[in-house]
Amino acid sequence: MTFTISDAAYATDTPAAKQAMYADLRSQLQGLLAGESDFIANTANFSALVFHTMPGLNWAGFYFLKGDELVLGPFQGKPACIRIKKGRGVCGTTVVEGKSIVVHDVHAFPGHIACDVHSRSELVVPVFAQEHIIGVFDLDSPLTGRFDEVDVQGVESLVRVLEAAIVAA
């Protein structure tokens, strides 16, 4: 199944349609990661699949924890900030809290780090390996309020597929 939902169509998208999109993404991801243990290749393909399937995104990618800061990993979109201190911005706050954060309007999130002035909303999901947080997967949108609870659960389910591949590697 191919999804080519325009931004306008997205606004009227139903939770069921979004869940179907995430189910399709999970199965594509399982195919992409199957039998491949290279972490960079897998996270690069993960970013590309999400960025080119989900409507209304202007950035999708990883930051990985190195000491007390996050360092930019594989991504799709414009060049982004390279290092983010733990506790800073939406990404660094996600590391401290250990759970996903949805920002409806980035201008209302104190400390939001603007890598792209066009970003209006954001979803950041933590990535775990053996119960330790190793980084985050970050999605940005030029649309205010782009991400809802269905997206949180959907993107978390995709990250679980990646984590299973990391453990299996």
Give the binding site for ligand SME (CB under 6 A).
59, 80-81, 84, 89-91, 112-113, 115, 119, 122, 138, 140
Could you give the 3-state DSSP secondary structure of residue 69? strand
Least distance (Å) between residue 117 CB and ligand SME:
11
Contact 144, 105 (CB under 8 A): yes
Q: Which of 149, 126, 120, 129 is nearest to 138 (CA)?
A: 126
Given the complex with ligand SME, which of 102 and 115 has the nearer CB atom? 115
How far, in Å, CA of 168 to CA of 39, rounded? 11
Given the complex with ligand SME, which of 115 and 161 has the nearer CB atom? 115
What are the φ and ψ backbone dihedral angles of 93, each rounded to 5 degrees? -70, -35
Least distance (Å) between residue 156 CB and ligand SME:
18
Given the complex with ligand SME, which of 80 and 152 has the nearer CB atom? 80
Strand (E) or helix (H) holding 145: none
Least distance (Å) between residue 89 CB and ligand SME:
3
How far, in Å, CA of 122 to CA of 106, rounded? 7
* Position with the least CB separation from ligand SME: 89
Least distance (Å) between residue 40 CB and ligand SME:
18
Given the complex with ligand SME, which of 25 and 140 has the nearer CB atom? 140
